[in-house]
Amino acid sequence: MRTAYTADQIRAAEHVLMAPLPEGTLMQRAASGLASVCADLLGRVYGKRVVLVVGSGDNGGDALYAGERLARRGAWVGAVLAGSRTHEAGLRAFTEAGGRVVDAAAVEEADLIVDGLVGIGAAGALREPYAGLVEAANAARAPIVAVDVPSGVDASSGRVQGAAVRAKVTVTMGAYKTGLLIDPGAVHAGAVELIDIGLGAYLPDPDVAALTGGDVDVLLPRPDKESDKYRRGVLGVAAGSDRFTGAAVLAVGGALRAGVGMVRYAGTGAPVAQVRSHWPEAVVTELDRPSIENVGRVQAWVLGPGLGTGDWAHELVARVLESGVPVLIDADALTLVAGDRGLLRRTAPVLITPHAGELARLIKADREQIEAARLEHARRAAAELGVTVLLKGSTTVVAEESRPARVNVTGTPWLATGGTGDVLSGVAGALLAQGLSCYDAAACGAFLHGLAGRFAASGAPLTAAGVASAVPRAIRAVSGEIA
């Protein structure tokens, strides 16, 4: 599991670690790792032009000491000193090794730019001359290596207000920062390289965690010799309408591909016909009224994709939410719940899977605010609504009150197409029916869905049906089998 921490958590751990160590020890460890990553990017260090953009804080010191090491290996290294002050010992070591102080124009001719302007304590928009230097560095042809966190990215949230470095690589010290895993900060960070400086033993419980394939493998339910279709979980799906028949087909398909023992589908005539045609293994109940009394026993429900938002759909949502089993609420059901929050007054677990616009309606916020601060708003929704939240988007965030948020590191931009959210609902719902908690079902479902999206796309456009078909391959991949 990849764990990440806020700036305050990192600083507190660093304070404890540094207390018994000689002054400058951590900076030298950080600089050594930074210089190594820079050398790997350069390939041949000798004769290459490296430009450091250096601020007043310790990140500037890290950059200067790394520049010293690169200069001693034969690189031409210049430093643009942007801060009101400069790390004195670092600058002295840098110039003694042959480094030179240069003006901002040097970034245009660089082979590599090192961003050491601001560190994890910075918040808000960058001011001049930092903002101008960031824009110049982003416009240059050379790749940028950011020290600890790209300048302009909030280390604790991933928020970006104004100019921010777009790094090819971010070399982060001691532990991952929350803002490196959550967009828009994650986009600015590029690839993230973690340098061990001895901080691990002093870190608290994480602020955010990202599951790995191994973590998902451990959590996934597996059939055994005693399994039958009922023990493997029965999922109810209330989705689709005469207008949106495909939503039902995709949600049921995602569930079946994710290993649930049985799917009981409930809907009206048109989607019922489509589900029967595509998935003969599903047990189908055609509803003549908005009731689930004849559907049969289930261990969890998926509720909402393509359901519509009229009175009939509202009544069906109410009946499903009166049941005593976990319910995943998506799409049209989220719209209905936003208009009638009383529907969420239940004791059984609830997992909601909104995109930013749907979450905005649920918590009376602006979509733009949610996109800019995804983690903050997912946590707010979890606390305010008393549910587990899977916020879909460029970074999928799973939030549950009093637990570390989880972010998903799989996926592809190709997943931004119609119907893929219906597949995700089916996959996560299947995991709920198989006994996972909302928290684990959301995180594992997002991981498998993202991985399936990668397999389905392979660098080209995908379809939602293709994502559903790739879910078994994703499960094999996390299990270590040939994908």
60 marked among binding-site residues: yes
Q: Is 120 annotated as a binding residue?
A: yes
Place of tokens 């958590």: 9
233 marked as binding residue = no
Q: What percent of the chain has pLDDT over 70?
A: 99
pLDDT digits (tens, 9 = 90+) for 17-52: 999 999 899 999 999 999 999 999 999 999 999 999
Q: Is 122 annotated as a binding residue?
A: yes
Place of tokens 């949502």: 317
pLDDT of residue 227: 72
43 is in an annotated binding site: no
Instruction: Report how far residue 106's alpha carbon sits from residue 50's, in angstroms, rounded to the nearest whole number.
Output: 9
Go through the domains of the chain in sequence order and give each one's CATH number: 2-207 (3.40.50.10260), 213-478 (3.40.1190.20)
357 is annotated as contributing to ligand binding: no
Q: Is residue 288 part of an annotated ligand binding site?
A: no
Distance CA 467, CA 464 (A): 5
> Mean pLDDT, the chain, as a whole number?
95
Q: Which two tokens stand for residue 373?
A: 């601060």
Nearest C-alpha neighbor of 103 from the set 53, 146, 147: 53
pLDDT at 229: 76
Kindly indicate the confidence band of residue 106, based on its pLDDT and cuts at 50, 70 and 90: very high
Question: So what's the pLDDT on residue 459?
Answer: 79
Question: What region does 282 belong to: left with phi over 0, alpha with psi -120 to 50, or beta?
Answer: beta
d(C-alpha 335, C-alpha 74), whole Å:
62
Q: How many CB atoms lie within 10 A of CB 186?
A: 19
Cα–Cα distance measured from residue 119 to residue 56, given in angstroms and rounded to the nearest whole number: 9
Q: Is 306 annotated as a binding residue?
A: yes
For 384-422, what is each residue's pLDDT tens digit? 999 999 999 989 999 999 999 999 999 899 999 999 999
- 229 among annotated binding-site residues: no
Q: Is the pLDDT of residue 192 over 90?
A: yes
What percentage of the chain carries pLDDT values higher than 90? 93
Distances (CA, A) of 30 to 68, 119, 166, 169, 267: 13, 13, 21, 15, 59
Between 224 and 248, residue with greater pLDDT: 248
148 is in an annotated binding site: yes
Q: Which tokens hold the place of 355? A: 């995109």
To the question of whether residue 119 is assigned a binding role by annotation, the answer is yes
Mean pLDDT of 257-277: 97
Q: Specify burial of residue 364 (Cβ count, 10 A radius: 0-12, 13-18, 19+).
A: exposed
CA pair distance 329, 425, nearest whole angstrom: 8
396 is in an annotated binding site: yes
Backbone angles phi, psi at 289, to 5 degrees: -150, 160
426 CB-contact burial (10 Å; exposed 0-12 / middle 13-18 / buried 19+): buried
125 is in an annotated binding site: yes
59 is annotated as contributing to ligand binding: yes
Q: Is the peptide bond before 305 cis (omega within 30 degrees of 0)?
A: no
pLDDT at residue 232, as a whole number: 83
Statement: residue 296 has pLDDT above 70:
yes
Render pLDDT for 200-220 as a digit per residue (tens, 0 to 9). 999 999 999 999 999 999 999
Instruction: Quick: pLDDT tens for 301-340.
Output: 999 999 999 999 999 999 999 999 999 999 999 999 999 9
The residues near 31 (Cβ < 8 Å, ≥ 6 apart) are 61, 62, 63, 64, 65, 66, 68, 69
Residues 478, 445 contacting (CB under 8 angstroms): no
Angle between helices 7-18 and 25-42 (to 10 degrees): 120
Residues 6+ away with beta carbon under 8 Å from 459: none
123 is in an annotated binding site: yes
The annotation status of 247 as a binding-site residue, yes or no, is: yes
Q: Which amino acid is at 202?
A: Y
What pLDDT, in 10s, does the model give residues 119-128?
998 888 999 9
Question: So what's the pLDDT on residue 224?
Answer: 78
Antiparallel, parallel or unpaired: β 112-116 and 144-147: parallel
* Per-residue pLDDT, 230: 76
259, pLDDT greater than 70: yes
87, 63 contact by CB (below 8 A)? no
Residue 58 annotated as lining a ligand binding site = yes
Is 355 annotated among the ligand-binding residues?
Answer: yes
Tell me the sheet residues that pair with 327. Answer: 301, 350
How many angstroms separate the Cα of 261 from the Cα of each of 252, 353, 430? Answer: 12, 23, 9
Closest CA to 345 of 318, 364, 363: 318
Tokens standing for 432? 């709920």
pLDDT in tens, 126-180: 999 999 999 999 999 999 999 999 999 999 999 999 999 999 999 999 999 999 9
User: What is the model's pLDDT at position 222?
Assistant: 86
Instruction: Spell out the long-range contacts of 459-463 with Cβ–Cβ below 8 A and sequence spacing 24 or more.
Output: 460/414, 461/414, 461/417, 462/412, 462/414, 462/415, 462/417, 462/420, 463/417, 463/419
| pLDDT attached to residue 482 | 57
Ligand-binding site membership of 155 (annotated): no
The answer on whether 196 is annotated among ligand-binding residues is no
- The verdict on whether residue 372 carries a ligand-binding annotation is no
